[in-house]
């Protein structure tokens, strides 16, 4: 299976021995470097220092690390105040609590006033696993995407997570970064290009019949699906839409026009997330058949990460099915158009 | 924060002018809050005309004290005081709540960048002020002489996030954080003690390890003295509970929660202005 050489993906991409790390690890390392590069970078955490990987920063820069206790609403406002005085605060908790619990505080004190605060939502998605549905944020992309001034980035692996964290420290304005708990494959490398708002075309099949648009670690399932489909002589292109907002319209439309059918893939409710963002864009610009991979109006539950990905229909096999479905719809549509002529 | 008689008289007259502006703005806007702005006119006057280290000609001056209005709905008094202090023309006050105005119904920095924060939703101002204090300490250490004033309503202490912020402020022990609480006992649905009792308010704040001062919020001497005391207290944030009369200065509005969120009509405004011109009948006015 050939990947786009310009993307310089991990050579071990298709091997069982591919290196793995949680995206939150990339955040922690990125935050540490951001702190070294700019003394205005500060970190706040709501009693989850280690699991949100704030520990690296906290050890190196104890005077710039602020423990907020279990008080996410206050944390958002405090970050706004720090930003008002020229600091660059990164606030961390589980995504369920921040931006879940403190959504209106983020809206008013961060977005409404356009404050330079970076929100890191951790342990997102069903892949959190055994903790169960109460702790598996599946709504956070939607919550952040609707806010004016907010940028939303969902890194696909630890390498991209580090780049995204560093990039966020350098741009002005509110931003949301989404991370997951479990170790996931390192698909990209240090040499893979990364720019906020610019999607990466990872597989650019010559005779693509369907495009897959994905964000987050679940992107690996999309790549696996592409490989399975290629074995059946169905060719797809895969776009890593790490920046959900502002969405990369140019890349998206290019893919839509090339393939004529899309499947979106995300570890989030189908409502309001990446799929919705893609659909909003295509509905006005270039409507084509679309299918959505995401949790369908349900909460998560306890289990191992892989079991839950499978159960909620987010894995490679379901993606394969949806690709075939959307391809059939596309073919039927062109047949109808052909007959009408 | 010494206050001589002539300064006190000057502040009283200024507060009266600000109250008149508040009435005029609200009549013109035909919506907005009346009781809170009138009740807090003395505190705002004392701050902007006596206590704050600020420069209306340089609103982004680094060394300025910060005044953060948490209960944004009383912004008519913030706008009127700022205008009278020279931040922008008094004539602009009549644009309150109108399309295209810098004076939004609740304060918004995007429209009026000289504001320290955007506000309106309650229970968020103290968190932001605490964040500013953290940044100030990073930059200037524990001896910083920049003061951070957070003006809050009593009702917004029903918001849990106010107490979250209070816990953090006490943990950090900011000497330069001064919260002034408008204890006017009213909120939209009635008297605070009927809606959700705040008492024993002082004991609650003290239990959170704050230094607490209770004052008559209409006495310039007491306001100035309390701020002086707050500055003298080492290693603890101070909460000044300012007991105020909602609607103060216009007897027909005073103490009634019904005047929390509505403006005077043209006729009511005229009557109110008459009361203010005569300082409640204490002086004879010319016209």
Please state, as a whole number, how many other Cβ atoms lie within 10 Å of the Cβ of residue A131.
14
Domain for residue B63, yes or no?
Answer: yes
- Min CA distance, A151 vs chain B (Å)? 18
User: Considering CB atoms only, which of A64, A75, A108 is closest to B118?
Assistant: A108
pLDDT for res B2: 76
Whether the CB-CB separation of B81 and B93 falls below 8 Å is answered with: no
The domain of B72 spans: 5-277
Look over chain A and give the mean of its residue pLDDT values, rounded to a whole number: 97
pLDDT, tens digit, 9 for 90 and up, residues A32-73: 999 999 999 999 999 999 999 999 999 999 999 999 999 999
Q: Is the pLDDT of residue B283 over 70?
A: no
The total of structural domains in chain B comes to 1
In this prediction, residue B287 has a pLDDT band, given cuts at 50, 70 and 90, of very low
Counted residue by residue, chain A has a size of 341
pLDDT of residue B286: 45
Q: What are phi and psi of B150, to 5 degrees?
A: -115, 120
Whether A195 is catalytic:
no
Buried b (16+ CB within 10 A) or exposed e, A75-90: bbbbbbbbbbbebbbb
Distance (Å, rounded) from C-alpha A281 to C-alpha A288? 11
Q: Can you tell me the distance from the alpha carbon of B82 to that of B60, in angstroms, rounded to the nearest whole number?
A: 14
Our CA-based measurement puts residue B34 at a distance from the nearest CA of chain A, in whole angstroms, of 24
Q: In what order do the strands lie in the sheet with A65-67?
A: A65-67, A41-45, A88-94, A118-122, A175-178, A151-153, A243-245
Which pLDDT score, from 0 to 100, does residue B124 have?
98
Q: Kindly state the greatest CA–CA separation across chain A.
A: 72
| Residue showing tokens 């990073």 | B138
Catalytic residue among A29, A72, A160, A266: A72
Tell me which residues of chain A, numbers 114 to 173, contact chain B at a CB-CB cutoff of 8 Å: 114
Question: Which residues are bridge partners to A292 per DSSP?
Answer: A264
∠ CA A164-A169-A175, nearest 5°, is 70
Q: How sure is the predictor about B52, in pLDDT bands with cuts at 50, 70 and 90?
A: very high
Closest residue of A to B70, CA-based?
A: A109
**Residues of chain A contacting B65 with CB distance shorter than 8 Å:** none
Cα B244 to Cα A214, B142, B234, B269, B282: the distances in Å are 57, 33, 27, 21, 20
* Closest chain B residue by Cα to residue A111: B118
Give the one of B117, B120, B168 whose C-beta lies nearest to A78's C-beta.
B168
Interatomic CA distance for residues A140 and A272, integer angstroms: 9
- Cis before B200? omega within 30: yes
Q: Which of A67, A75, A77, A87 to mutate to test the interface with B (most CBs of B within 10 A)?
A: A77
pLDDT per position as a tens digit, B168-214? 999 999 999 999 999 999 999 999 999 999 999 999 999 999 999 99
d(CA B34, CA B263): 6
B287 in any annotated domain: no
Closest Cα in chain B to A117? B131
The reply to whether B211 falls in a domain is yes
Q: Is residue B207 part of a domain?
A: yes
Q: Give the nearest partner residue to B129 out of A64, A81, A83, using CB atoms.
A: A81
Q: How far is A78 from chain B (nearest CA, A)?
A: 4
Residue of B nearest to A76 (CA): B127
Is pTM, for the whole model, over 0.90? Answer: yes
Whether residue B187 lies inside any domain: the answer is yes
pLDDT at residue B285 greater than cutoff 60: no
A114/B134 Cβ within 8 A: no
Of B178, B165, B152, B182, nearest to B231 by C-alpha is: B178
**A20-185: CATH architecture:** 3-Layer(aba) Sandwich (3.40)
Answer whether A281's CB lies under 8 Å from A247's CB: yes
Token readout for B22 is: 């508040």
SS3 at position A227: helix
Q: What ipTM is given for this predicted complex?
A: 0.95
Q: Between 1.10.1200.10, 3.40.50.1820, 1.20.120.160, 3.40.50.920, what CATH number should domain A197-340 receive?
A: 3.40.50.920
pLDDT tens, residue by residue, A158-184: 999 999 999 999 999 999 999 999 999
Q: Counting one residue from A and one from B, how many pairs have CB atoms under 8 Å apart?
A: 101
State how far residue B104 is from chain A, nearest Cα, in angstroms.
13
- For residue B130, which residues of chain A lie inside 8 Å, CB to CB? 74, 77-78, 81
Is residue B11 one of the residues assigned to a domain?
yes
pLDDT, one tens digit for every residue, chain A (341 residues) = 899 999 999 999 999 999 999 999 999 999 999 999 999 999 999 999 999 999 999 999 999 999 999 999 999 999 999 999 999 999 999 999 999 999 999 999 999 999 999 999 999 999 999 999 999 999 999 999 999 999 999 999 999 999 999 999 999 999 999 999 999 999 999 999 999 999 999 999 989 999 999 999 999 999 999 999 999 999 999 999 999 999 999 999 999 999 999 999 999 999 999 999 999 999 999 999 999 999 999 999 999 999 999 999 999 999 999 999 999 999 999 999 889 88
Interface test with B, best of A40, A81, A93, A116 (most B CBs within 10 A): A81
Q: Which residue in the set A81, A89, A113 is minimally distant from B130, CB to CB?
A: A81
Residue A287, classed as helix, strand or coil, is coil
Where in chain A is CATH 3.40.50.920?
Answer: 197-340
In a domain? residue B124: yes
DSSP category for residue A50? T
Q: List, by residue range, all CATH 3.40.50.970 domains of chain A.
A: 20-185
In sequence order, what DSSP letters do the residues of A72-125 get, joined into one string? HHHHHHHHHHHHHTT-EEEEEEETIIIIIITHHHIIIIIIITT---EEEEESBS
Q: Which residues of B157-190 are buried (b: 16+ CB within 10 A; e: fewer)?
A: bbbebbbbbbbbbbebebbbbbbbbbbbbbbeee
Interchain CB distance below 8 Å, B128 and A80 = yes
Choose among A63, A74, A83: nearest Cβ to B127.
A74
Does B176 reside within a domain?
yes
User: Tell me, what CATH number does B242's domain have?
Assistant: 3.40.50.970
- pLDDT for residue B1: 67
pLDDT above 70 coverage of chain B, percent: 97
């Amino acid at each position: 299976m050939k990947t786009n050489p310009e993307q310089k993906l991990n050579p071990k991409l298709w091997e069982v021995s591919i290196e793995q790390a949680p995206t939150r690890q990339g955040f922690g390392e990125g935050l540490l470097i951001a702190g070294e590069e700019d003394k205005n970078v500060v970190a706040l955490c709501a009693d989850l220092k280690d699991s949100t990987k704030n520990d690296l920063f906290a050890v190196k820069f104890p005077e710039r690390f602020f423990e907020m206790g279990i008080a996410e609403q206050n944390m958002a406002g405090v970050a706004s105040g720090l930003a008002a005085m020229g600091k660059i605060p990164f606030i961390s908790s589980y995504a369920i609590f921040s931006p879940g619990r403190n959504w209106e505080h983020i809206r008013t004190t961060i977005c409404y006033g356009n404050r330079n605060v970076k929100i890191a939502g951790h342990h997102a998605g069903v892949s959190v696993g055994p903790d169960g549905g109460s702790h598996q944020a599946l709504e956070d992309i939607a919550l952040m995407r609707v806010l004016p001034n907010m940028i939303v980035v969902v890194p696909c692996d630890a390498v991209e997570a580090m780049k995204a964290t560093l990039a966020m420290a350098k741009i002005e304005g509110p931003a949301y970064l989404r991370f997951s708990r479990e170790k996931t494959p390192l698909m990209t490398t240090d040499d893979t290009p990364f720019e906020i708002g610019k999607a990466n075309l990872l597989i650019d099949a010559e005779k693509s019949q369907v495009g897959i648009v994905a964000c987050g670690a679940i992107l690996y399932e999309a790549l696996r699906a592409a490989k399975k489909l290629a074995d059946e002589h169905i060719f797809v292109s895969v776009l890593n839409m790490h920046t959900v907002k502002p969405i990369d319209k140019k890349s998206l439309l290019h893919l839509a026009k090339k393939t004529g059918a899309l499947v979106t893939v995300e570890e989030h409710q189908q409502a309001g997330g990446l799929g919705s963002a893609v659909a909003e864009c295509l509905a006005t610009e270039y409507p084509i058949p679309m299918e959505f991979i995401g949790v369908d109006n349900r909460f998560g539950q306890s289990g191992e990460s892989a079991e839950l990905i499978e159960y909620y229909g987010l894995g490679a096999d379901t993606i394969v099915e949806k690709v075939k479905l959307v391809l059939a719809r596309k073919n039927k549509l062109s047949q109808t158009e052909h007959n009408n002529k | 924060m010494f206050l001589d008689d002539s300064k006190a008289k000057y502040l009283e007259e200024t507060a009266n002018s600000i109250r008149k502006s508040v009435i005029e703005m609200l009549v013109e806007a035909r919506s907005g809050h009346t009781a809170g702005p009138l009740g807090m006119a003395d505190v705002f006057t004392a701050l902007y005309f006596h206590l704050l280290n600020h420069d209306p000609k340089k609103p982004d001056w680094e060394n300025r004290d910060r005044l953060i209005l948490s209960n944004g709905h009383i912004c008519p008094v913030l706008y009127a005081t700022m205008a009278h202090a020279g931040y922008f023309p008094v004539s602009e006050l009549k644009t309150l709540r109108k399309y295209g105005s810098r004076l939004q119904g609740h304060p918004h920095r995007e429209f009026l960048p000289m504001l320290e924060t955007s506000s309106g939703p309650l229970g968020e101002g103290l968190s932001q002020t605490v964040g500013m204090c953290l940044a100030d300490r990073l930059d200037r250490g524990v001896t910083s002489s920049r003061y951070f004033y957070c003006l809050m309503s009593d009702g917004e202490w029903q918001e849990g996030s106010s107490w979250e912020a209070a816990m953090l402020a006490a943990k950090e022990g900011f000497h330069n954080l001064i919260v002034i609480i408008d204890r006017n006992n009213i909120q939209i649905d009635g008297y605070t003690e009927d809606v959700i009792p705040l008492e024993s308010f002082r004991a609650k704040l003290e239990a959170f390890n704050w230094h607490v001062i209770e004052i008559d919020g209409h006495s310039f001497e007491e306001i100035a003295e309390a701020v002086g005391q707050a500055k003298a207290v080492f290693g603890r944030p101070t909460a000044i509970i300012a007991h105020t009369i909602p609607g103060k200065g216009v007897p027909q509005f005073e103490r009634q929660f019904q005047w929390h969120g509505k403006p005077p009509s043209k006729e009511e405004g005229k009557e109110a202005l008459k009361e203010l011109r005569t300082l409640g009948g204490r002086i004879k006015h010319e016209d």
